[in-house]
């Protein structure tokens, strides 16, 4: 049985400057992963989701904030699809330092969380609005493909 972890709370530890996170995320990972980076980050996001399974949408929103991934909110929800918006200063900074920023780590994480909550295969699609410093995620759940 795989052991899960509790997400550390932002209140329980030291805060690191966003610049340190950005160096790793926007430059080092890009260099290490190369052209396969987006696919590997999506997979890594799903793996992180398995290590930090969440039970509710509210927990997912809080996780994004605590992880420094930005401000997440639901725009639209139906039986088999949720459209999310990710915004905030951190997203604006990421676009400012790297026009090619991708959000596949976050996309994979959302896919896993919805799979876990709905017990059905889920996949996330990313849509960027760089001028507005917003990322939209559409998580589609296949209710015919239950886990």
pLDDT tens digit sequence for 75-124 = 999 999 999 999 999 999 999 998 889 999 999 999 999 999 999 999 99
Cβ distance 76 to 57 under 8 Å? Answer: no
Q: Are 129 and 135 in contact (CB under 8 A)?
A: yes
pLDDT of residue 12 exceeding 80: no
Residue pair 70/86 in contact by the 8 Å Cβ criterion: yes
Angle, alpha carbons 147-62-90 (nearest 5°): 115
Give me the chain's average pLDDT, please.
Answer: 90
The answer to whether the CB of 109 falls within 8 A of the CB of 49 is yes
Does 8 score more than 90 pLDDT? no
Structural domains of the chain, ranges and CATH numbers in brackets: 17-146 (3.30.1380.20)
Query: 50: phi > 0 → left, psi -120 to 50 → alpha, else beta; which?
Result: alpha
| Confidence (pTM) | 0.87
């Amino acid at each position: 049985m795989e052991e899960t972890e509790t997400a550390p709370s932002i209140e329980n530890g030291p805060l690191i400057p966003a610049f340190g996170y950005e160096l790793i995320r926007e430059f080092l990972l890009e260099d290490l992963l190369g052209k396969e980076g987006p696919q590997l980050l999506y997979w890594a996001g799903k793996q992180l989701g398995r290590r930090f399974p969440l039970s509710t949408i509210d927990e997912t929103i809080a996780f994004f904030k605590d992880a420094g991934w930005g401000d997440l909110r639901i725009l639209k929800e139906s039986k088999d699809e949720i459209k999310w918006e990710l915004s905030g200063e951190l997203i604006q900074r990421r676009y400012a330092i790297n026009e090619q920023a991708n959000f596949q780590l976050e996309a994979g994480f959302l896919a896993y969380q919805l799979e876990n909550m709905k017990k059905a295969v889920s996949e996330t699609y990313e849509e960027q609005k760089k001028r507005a410093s917003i990322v939209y995620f559409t998580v589609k759940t296949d209710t015919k493909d239950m886990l």
